[in-house]
């Protein structure tokens, strides 16, 4: 005679071809905005996600991951236990890290609620954008805005480089010129190569810090709307600093 | 009757299979150190290279590139005009950028010649290492040293991220513990999460700044040899900053 202990038997959820296709399609920016969904991957990132206010559509992960990281309070989310083989089918990683979540794109207000805004003019490198979101989170920046030509906030490389800070700092893609015109009462500080030494500027608790494109800096059309031009003084020979490094130094000095 | 004007006829140099194999093999760290050679790619990088003291073994590039960028003084280097198809065969880039050079690995002295040294303990990301070399060049740092577990200085992604600064700052891979023991008379400043606020530290013109691994920070065995523990104060929520961003802030504050 046999006894079956059903609750110890792991019956994986089988992902359909259509689901694989949908999840993989969210790698494209157009699809993310059409479906209003994006992907968060990896154990650490999904742990930060479940603690955040972001709306989770579904989590696909291992049994071990759920048991270790989803508390009873958070277990209300739709969780599908899948096999490693299925995780590899839907993952962006060469070596998937236990879990992947589909998340609702946040619908953020554009209204200014005080504090410092980091404005990014045409940042192209996903690692730079992710690092800048992390800097914003470290220095308690209120929001990060970038123009439509920049790399997308919800690109998977940006999310990884942000190390979960994307869940703490409101990030919006907007027309920066319109935004600057709507925020005329605020001081704006553009990082350029021939402005005032940042070390001579007083600390600020309110205003917009503008970081330009990796190759071309802040565009002329935005520069004419900025009230201050600031520079990190050079002591050696390099032509410039990496955009994320410059953002970090400016935040450390001014905030 | 026909007249031939020979010097306007472009006869490309044909790269052999063995040459392609040799050049491609330099993508491996082991081969770079066995052959004492590395690869520099792209118009801007090779322009910086020809202005530097690095020993160039050969340059493979287009006729246009040579005419535009190699002055008569620099034209002493072995220059091979090749076709775009051959450039694609030897390049690391998806879209090769006009020129590729084979360069002798520099044989640098370990002796300390004063100033600031940046010591990197197990930096893994090539973009971070390249950005840190660029920071060192911007702040006039005397040398950058990293331990043997770090990503290699002559990895092609490190070189690209350094934006040519690799030619301006002496960079050495060494045993950091031995190095610290040999430099006992110098002050050493380790970046940690619970040290003294960097803004309370006086400026320095001499000493070793230690940046740790992206995930684990400065290792315990190096930390015990450091005379100061310094911290970039946090005003928000992120757990940490990117290693290159932290290096930039520390250099800006202390140098």
Beta bridge partners of B117: B143, B208
Q: Domain end: B48, B70, B104, which one?
A: B104
Q: Check whether residue A133 and residue A80 sit in a common domain.
A: no
Determine the Cα–Cα distance for residues B126 and B66; give it in Å rounded to an integer.
29
Q: Domain end: A104, A124, A158, which one?
A: A104
Mutate to test the interface with A, among B143, B241, B251, B255 (most CBs of A within 10 A): B241
Please say whether the dihedral angle defined by the alpha carbons of residues A182, A32, A97 and B149, taken in this order, is positive or negative: negative
Q: Check whether residue A21 and residue A120 sit in a common domain.
A: no
pLDDT surpasses 60 at B104: yes
Contact check, Cβ <8 Å, A245/B241: no
CATH number of the domain to which A73 belongs = 3.30.1330.30
pLDDT at B111: 59
Q: Check whether residue B146 and residue B73 sit in a common domain.
A: no
User: What value does the mean pLDDT of chain A take?
Assistant: 91
Please report whether residue A168 resides in a domain: yes
CATH number of the domain to which B230 belongs = 3.40.1280.10
B119 phi and psi angles, rounded to 5 deg: -110, 125
Query: Which residues numbered 127-146 in A keep a CB inside 8 Å of some CB on B?
Result: 127, 131, 134-141
Q: Domain end: A58, A83, A104, which one?
A: A104
Determine the Cα–Cα distance for residues A171 and A38; give it in Å rounded to an integer.
14
Determine the Cα–Cα distance for residues A225 and A222; give it in Å rounded to an integer.
5
List, for residues B175-195, the tens digit of each pLDDT value: 999 999 999 999 999 999 999
Please report whether residue B3 resides in a domain: no
Please report whether residue A42 resides in a domain: yes
Query: Which residues numbered 57-116 in A keep a CB inside 8 Å of some CB on B?
Result: none
Determine the Cα–Cα distance for residues A27 and A22; give it in Å rounded to an integer.
10
List, for residues B199-224, the tens digit of each pLDDT value: 999 999 999 999 999 999 999 999 99
Nearest to B55 by CA among B102, B19, B98: B102
Q: Check whether residue B173 and residue B100 sit in a common domain.
A: no
| Cβ burial, residue A22 (10 Å; 0-12/13-18/19+) | middle
List, for residues A13-56, the tens digit of each pLDDT value: 889 999 999 999 999 999 999 999 999 999 999 999 998 989 99
Q: Check whether residue A245 and residue A146 sit in a common domain.
A: yes
Q: With contacts defined as CB-CB under 8 Å, which chain A residues touch B246?
A: 248
Q: Check whether residue B219 and residue B161 sit in a common domain.
A: yes
pLDDT at B141: 96
Q: Check whether residue A230 and residue A163 sit in a common domain.
A: yes
- Compute the nearest-CA separation of A170 from chain B (Å): 13
Would you place residue A9 in the very low, low, confident or very high pLDDT band (cuts 50, 70, 90)?
A: low
Determine the Cα–Cα distance for residues A28 and A8; give it in Å rounded to an integer.
39
pLDDT at B1: 46
- What proportions of chain A, in percent to the nearest 5, are helix, strand and coil? 35, 20, 40
Determine the Cα–Cα distance for residues B247 and B255; give it in Å rounded to an integer.
11
Q: Check whether residue A161 and residue A250 sit in a common domain.
A: yes
Using CA coordinates, name the residue in chain A closest to B126: A127
- Compute the nearest-CA separation of A225 from chain B (Å): 28
Would you place residue A114 in the very low, low, confident or very high pLDDT band (cuts 50, 70, 90)?
A: confident
Q: With contacts defined as CB-CB under 8 Å, which chain A residues touch B139?
A: 234-236
CA atoms within 13 Å, Cβ hemisphere of A195: 21
Please report, for residues A99, A159, A252, B235, the alpha-carbon distance to residue A123 in angstroms, rounded to integers and kept in the order given: 29, 15, 20, 24
Q: Which residues constitute the domain of residue B233?
A: 116-254
pLDDT surpasses 70 at B149: yes
Using CA coordinates, name the residue in chain B closest to A252: B249
Q: Check whether residue B133 and residue B248 sit in a common domain.
A: yes
Q: Check whether residue A214 and residue A131 sit in a common domain.
A: yes
Tally C-beta pairs within 8 A across A and B. Answer: 110
């Amino acid at each position: 005679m046999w006894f079956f202990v059903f609750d110890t038997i792991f019956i994986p959820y089988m992902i359909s071809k259509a689901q694989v296709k949908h999840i993989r399609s969210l790698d494209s920016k157009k699809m993310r905005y059409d479906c209003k969904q994006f992907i968060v991957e990896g154990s650490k990132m999904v742990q930060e996600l479940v603690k955040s206010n972001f709306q989770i559509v579904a989590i696909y992960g291992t049994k071990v991951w759920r048991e270790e990281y989803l508390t009873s309070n958070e277990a209300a989310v739709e969780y599908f236990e899948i096999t490693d083989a299925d995780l590899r089918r839907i993952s962006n990683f060469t070596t998937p890290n236990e879990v992947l979540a589909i998340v609702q794109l946040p619908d953020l207000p554009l209204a200014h609620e005080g504090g410092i805004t980091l404005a990014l003019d045409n940042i192209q490198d996903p690692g730079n954008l992710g690092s800048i979101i992390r800097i914003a989170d470290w220095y308690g920046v209120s929001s990060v805005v970038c123009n439509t030509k920049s790399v997308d906030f919800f690109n998977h490389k940006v999310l990884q480089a942000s190390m979960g800070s994307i869940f703490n700092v409101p990030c919006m893609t907007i027309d920066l010129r319109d935004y600057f015109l709507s925020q005329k009462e605020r001081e704006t500080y553009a990082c350029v190569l021939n402005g005032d030494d940042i070390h001579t500027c007083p600390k600020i608790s309110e205003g917009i810090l503008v970081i330009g494109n990796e190759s071309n800096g802040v565009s002329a059309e935005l520069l004419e709307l900025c009230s201050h031009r600031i520079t990190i003084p050079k002591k050696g020979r390099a032509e410039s600093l990496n955009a994320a490094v410059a953002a970090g130094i400016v935040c450390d000095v001014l905030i």
